[in-house]
Amino acid sequence: MTYTQELKKMIQKRDPNETEFIQATSEVLDSISLALDDHPEYIESGVLDRMIEPERQIIFRVPWVDDQGAVQVNRGYRVEFNSALGPYKGGLRFHSSVNLGIIKFLGFEQIFKNALTGLPMGGGKGGSDFDPHGKSDSEVMRFCQSFMSELYRHIGQFKDVPAGDIGVGKREIGFLFGQYKRLANEYSGVLTGKDLSYGGSLLRTQATGYGLLYFTKAMTDDHGLNLKDKLCVISGSGNVAIYAAYKAKELGLKVIAMSDSDGYIYDKEGIDIDLVQTIKEVKRARIKTYINDRPKAEYHKGSKGIWQIKCDVALPCATQNEMDLLDAKTLVQNGVQVVAEGANMPLSREASDYLVQNKILYGPAKAANAGGVAVSGLEMSQNSLRLKWSVEEVDERLKKIMNDIYREASLTAAKYGQKDNLIVGANIAGFLRVAEAMYLQGVV
């Protein structure tokens, strides 16, 4: 058995129920085995054995009182995975499905994603099984305050800097920041994704979606493919999906479908993105109400049906494992040319392997969606400098970071004999950066 196979077996044995964590670590370990021959020192100093185990995992009770006066109890998590390159950095997810395995997979991915940005950030992730759907603003505030009442002692601008993810946007970050400031008696850049009025960065809201399209353009330009008038399907209708849709439209693509966890809308004439934004962000309503204003569009129940729609470019921007092998086969049959991941690990392992085998231009999440955390890194810089960069300045830096990530993943893939396999390229490039820092810092 090879060294990486042994590590995979150990993870299975230690945490057999953490299926998403097993999936994410297997993919990375398979990719980097190609690079280990050049680095016996990483094996000898146990870099990999250490890398797959979080530095610290915090699990805590989050009690709060709902609008009816009833006591509710949720479970909170923060997994501080790796601090070789900088303070732990990564989002918070509030969704009913959240468990330790999901937070660990997200934290593990974040280590390599953050490394790829070239900014000084370690990897972490947190969240809760709290479901914000249908909760009042006051309930969300009380929950966030209770969540932060425990989390505040573990985080800090030089320790661990959380941000948003599914179910955590501007509103939640505001409540979390207010409570942190009160408890710590300190005004610092302890969270990113803040509103502009209290230290946020211009373009952080748009960054993941815009970055996804900058990455996609770098990849298609490199292969001589023009995106103009290409049909584009985007799953999800949250923060990432909405700004991916805006930038796709700006680049000349035609976005024809979007979804939420109940179903999808198909609008042949092109999705009215402002309308989707109003429905999801302002009204916090369901995407099916889109057809009330656009009667020629169709609504279909079941979010997975979206991959049946014929398109050139597919951008999964909802959640993990939302596209399986069958979906990938359907997309390829329908002539898809590009798949780029806005969500974290949206494709099953079989689905991503199938796309690579079929030579589809495929941008894996830790490279393609790194724009969000990259601008979080820029927000941290601005907070430290106590100044604010213009939209143009942030956009320019974001574009450069996404282009650099594409180039590095692509060159690394070619170097290891896997031309155009950006899974291998991104995993090895991110790994080498973290591994070297861990090696030089000794066994800690």
The answer to whether 215 touches 363, Cβ cutoff 8 Å, is yes
- Measured from the CB atom, the residue of 348 and 376 that comes closer to ligand 2IT is 376
| Partner in contact with 237, chosen from ligand NDP, ligand 2IT, none, beta carbon below 5 to 8 Å by kind | ligand NDP
Residue 399 in tokens: 């574009």
| Partner in contact with 192, chosen from ligand NDP, ligand 2IT, none, beta carbon below 5 to 8 Å by kind | ligand 2IT
Shortest Cβ distance from residue 320 to ligand 2IT (Å)? 11
| CA–CA gap between residue 137 and residue 143 (Å, rounded) | 10
| Partner in contact with 317, chosen from ligand NDP, ligand 2IT, none, beta carbon below 5 to 8 Å by kind | ligand NDP
| CA–CA gap between residue 377 and residue 208 (Å, rounded) | 13
Residue 190 in tokens: 């302890």
Shortest Cβ distance from residue 131 to ligand NDP (Å)? 9
8 is catalytic: no
Q: CB neighbours of 16 closer than 8 A, spacing ≥ 6? A: none
| CA–CA gap between residue 80 and residue 353 (Å, rounded) | 30
- Measured from the CB atom, the residue of 121 and 438 that comes closer to ligand 2IT is 121
- Measured from the CB atom, the residue of 200 and 425 that comes closer to ligand 2IT is 200
373 binds ligand 2IT per the rule CB under 6 A: yes
- Residues 99-158 interacting with ligand 2IT (rule: CB under 6 A): 110, 113
| Partner in contact with 89, chosen from ligand NDP, ligand 2IT, none, beta carbon below 5 to 8 Å by kind | ligand 2IT
The answer to whether 394 touches 200, Cβ cutoff 8 Å, is no
The answer to whether 381 touches 121, Cβ cutoff 8 Å, is no
* Alpha-helical segments (H) within 225-340: 239-250, 273-277, 290-293, 325-333
344 binds ligand 2IT per the rule CB under 6 A: yes
The answer to whether 379 touches 189, Cβ cutoff 8 Å, is yes
C-alpha dihedral, 13 to 15 to 19 to 25, nearest 10°: -80
| CA–CA gap between residue 109 and residue 434 (Å, rounded) | 12
The answer to whether 380 touches 248, Cβ cutoff 8 Å, is no
What phi, psi does 64 have (nearest 5°)? -155, 165
- Measured from the CB atom, the residue of 234 and 428 that comes closer to ligand NDP is 234
The answer to whether 131 touches 95, Cβ cutoff 8 Å, is yes
The answer to whether 410 touches 425, Cβ cutoff 8 Å, is yes
| CA–CA gap between residue 89 and residue 124 (Å, rounded) | 5
- Measured from the CB atom, the residue of 45 and 319 that comes closer to ligand NDP is 319
| CA–CA gap between residue 364 and residue 339 (Å, rounded) | 9
Of 125, 135, 194, 247, the catalytic one is: 125
192 binds ligand 2IT per the rule CB under 6 A: yes
Shortest Cβ distance from residue 444 to ligand NDP (Å)? 28
Sign of the Cα torsion 36, 38, 43, 47 reads negative
Q: Running DSSP on this structure, what letter comes out for residue 58? A: E
- Residues 160-189 interacting with ligand 2IT (rule: CB under 6 A): 163, 165
| Partner in contact with 166, chosen from ligand NDP, ligand 2IT, none, beta carbon below 5 to 8 Å by kind | ligand NDP
Part in contact with ligand 2IT (CB under 6 A); list of ranges 21-29, 32-40, 89-97, 304-312: 89-97
- Measured from the CB atom, the residue of 181 and 288 that comes closer to ligand NDP is 288
Part in contact with ligand 2IT (CB under 6 A); list of ranges 86-94, 290-298, 398-406, 427-435: 86-94
211 binds ligand 2IT per the rule CB under 6 A: no
Residues that bind ligand NDP (CB under 6 A): 164-167, 169, 208, 236-241, 260-262, 303, 317-319, 322, 342-344, 369, 372
Shortest Cβ distance from residue 1 to ligand 2IT (Å)? 32
Instruction: By CB under 6 A, name the one of 54, 76, 90, 346 that touches ligand 2IT.
Output: 90
| Catalytic residue positions, numbered | 125
Footprint on this chain of ligand 2IT (rule: CB under 6 A): 89-91, 110, 113, 163, 165, 192, 344, 372-373, 376
